[in-house]
């Protein structure tokens, strides 16, 4: 008898009938595939049956991604776990692992109450009790906030639809600031993005900002710098502008738009791949990249692709999908980016000179319809993320905390999330996540988080900015936000 037929009869590989049914996988409906091929043993909600539950953290053969892939692909016949490697490709097995993470994470979230603080309500986190209060109300999709060095407690907030407002002494000043670009693509994911002051702002007054430039050829992220005078942006200079043939028409997604300066005064900014996946690997195009310039827009001579024929010489790193967080560790000078995955696979990356971060060749995410994207999560010559999140959180603004109001948060990394509606704290050591905590969840989509000169944290919600400060000792602690273990590296 043929060996495959013998194994089928013994029940140690999927039946030949299921082989034909599995072609329904090509519809990309990963939940249906689980229901058809896995639920009979593991339960329709992964709660367990003749085979163990997939919802707990008890794993006979390892719960990290590679162990799960191996379990599905090779099986464990001695435990009546069939091998699915003859039925599904490696890409398809990884999509099942992604789906498993989605269901497990939702289950864990449903079992644990996360803090959802209201005005002046005290919350106990792992290290500090804090309270949250509205600082500025009446905004419309605020995207970025920056505090201006110098006297007067001044700040600027940008709104996605193309306006910016000065804030003085905790009050938004009307009308909106003048002098911003007239042709901003604000549809879809387009808009007015990050704004940051020059490291020597008190000397030169420069403010740097990014936006989706609307052109006859399409749209692409642009960076400008201006000074602020009498309620208007003046002395404007273009720092980075893509060539006309690099503009993307017919799509309004993945612009990136974050800006950061390093300790040496170099300017970094992110551009998403604009929905053109293969462009992220193409060094002749600016999208899907982190860029590095002198503060006036000149190309640094030591940029990694200077002298490469056809390459965009401002490129610092490539293989990025949609980086919407960018931050420099003030202690080490290390640059980190936070970028959206598709369905799953949001990433935190340690951004290094000339490195390839893999998109779309490697990813921990799958298509939105549940079908697989990449053959693998690893490939030689491509970087692994510091950590990643499945399901996707819609990761966004990112900053290191350097204030004094929360001493046990000093130097920790904080980030906002859109679809997850979370504020998270990460502790890094030697480029690895050693602690991770959800500070609060479920009070609205968070676009950005930044530390203020007063030591408070400021988070941007859909119509307001909230200020996070230590809770008064006399206030009763109302809720506890549970810590999440770091994802296995």
Helix (H) or strand (E) holding 454: none
Residue with token string 């909600």? 45
Query: Which one from 254, 291, 320, 340 is the annotated catalytic residue?
Result: 254
What does 185-245 look like in DSSP terms, one character per residue? --STT-SEEEEEE-TTHHHH--EEEEEEEEETTEEEEEEEEEEEETTEEEEEEEEE---GG
**CB-based contact 253:275 (threshold 8 Å):** yes
**Closest alpha carbon to 180 in 171, 191, 172:** 191
Tell me the pairing of strands 465-470 and 129-136.
antiparallel
37 exposed, middle or buried (CB, 10 Å; 0-12, 13-18, 19+)? buried
**CB-based contact 164:176 (threshold 8 Å):** yes
Give the residues across from 121 on adjacent strands.
Answer: none
Q: Catalytic: 254?
A: yes
Q: Which pair of tokens denotes residue 194?
A: 């990050």
Q: What is the DSSP letter of 148?
A: P
- DSSP reduced 3-state for 36: helix
Phi/psi at 237 (5° precision): -130, 140
Taking each helix axis as running N to C, give the angle between helix 30-37 and helix 90-111, from 0 to 180 degrees, rounded to the nearest 10: 90
- DSSP reduced 3-state for 230: coil
Give the residues across from 425 on adjacent strands.
Answer: 414, 437
Give the residues across from 318 on adjacent strands.
Answer: 289, 356
Cα distance between residue 144 and residue 465, in whole Å: 10
Tell me the pairing of strands 387-389 and 395-400.
unpaired
Q: What is the DSSP letter of 184?
A: B
Q: What amino acid positions are annotated as catalytic residues?
A: 254
């Amino acid at each position: 008898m043929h060996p495959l037929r013998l194994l089928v009869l013994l029940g140690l590989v999927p039946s030949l009938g299921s082989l034909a049914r599995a072609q329904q996988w090509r519809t990309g409906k990963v939940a249906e595939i689980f229901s058809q091929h896995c639920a009979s043993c593991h339960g329709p909600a992964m709660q367990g049956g003749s085979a163990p539950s997939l919802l707990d953290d008890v794993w006979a053969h390892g719960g990290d991604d590679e162990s799960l892939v191996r379990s599905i692909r090779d099986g464990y016949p001695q435990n009546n776990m069939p091998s699915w490697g003859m039925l599904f490709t490696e890409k398809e097995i990884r999509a099942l692992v992604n789906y498993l993470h989605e269901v497990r994470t939702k289950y864990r979230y449903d079992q644990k109450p996360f803090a959802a603080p209201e005005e002046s309500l005290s919350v106990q986190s792992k290290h500090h009790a804090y309270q949250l209060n509205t600082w500025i109300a009446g905004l419309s999709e605020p995207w970025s906030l920056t505090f201006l060095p110098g006297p007067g407690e001044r700040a600027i907030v940008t709104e996605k639809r193309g306006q910016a407002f000065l804030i003085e002494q905790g009050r938004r000043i009307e009308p909106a600031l003048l002098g911003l670009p007239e042709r901003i693509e604000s549809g879809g994911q387009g808009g007015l993005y990050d704004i940051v002051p020059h490291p020597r702002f008190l000397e030169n007054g420069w403010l740097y900002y990014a936006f989706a430039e609307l052109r006859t050829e399409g749209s692409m992220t642009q960076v400008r710098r201006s000074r602020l005078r009498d309620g208007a942006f003046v002395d404007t200079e273009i720092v980075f502008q893509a060539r006309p043939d690099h503009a993307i028409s017919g799509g309004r997604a993945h612009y990136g738009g974050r800006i950061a300066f390093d300790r040496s005064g170099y300017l970094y900014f992110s551009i998403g791949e604009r929905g053109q996946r293969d462009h992220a690997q193409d060094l002749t195009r600016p999208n899907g990249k982190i860029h590095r310039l002198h503060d006036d827009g000149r190309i640094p001579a030591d940029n990694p692709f200077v002298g490469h024929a056809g390459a965009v010489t401002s490129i610092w790193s490539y293989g990025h999908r949609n980086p919407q967080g960018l931050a420099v560790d003030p202690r080490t000078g290390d640059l980190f980016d936070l970028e959206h995955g598709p369905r799953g696979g949001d990433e935190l990356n340690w951004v290094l000179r000339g490195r390839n971060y893999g998109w779309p060749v490697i990813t921990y995410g799958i298509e939105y319809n549940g079908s697989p994207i990449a053959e693998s999560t690893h490939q030689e010559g491509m970087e692994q993320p510091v950590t990643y999140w499945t399901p996707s959180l819609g990761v966004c603004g990112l900053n290191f905390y350097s204030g004094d109001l929360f001493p046990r948060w000093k130097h920790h990394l904080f980030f906002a999330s859109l679809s997850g509606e979370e504020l998270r704290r990460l502790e890094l050591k030697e480029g690895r996540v050693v602690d991770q905590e959800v500070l609060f969840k479920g009070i609205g989509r968070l676009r950005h988080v930044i530390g203020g000169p007063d030591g408070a944290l400021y988070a941007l919600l859909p119509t307001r900015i909230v200020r996070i400060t230590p809770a008064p000792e006399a206030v009763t602690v109302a809720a506890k936000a549970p810590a999440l273990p770091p994802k296995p590296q």
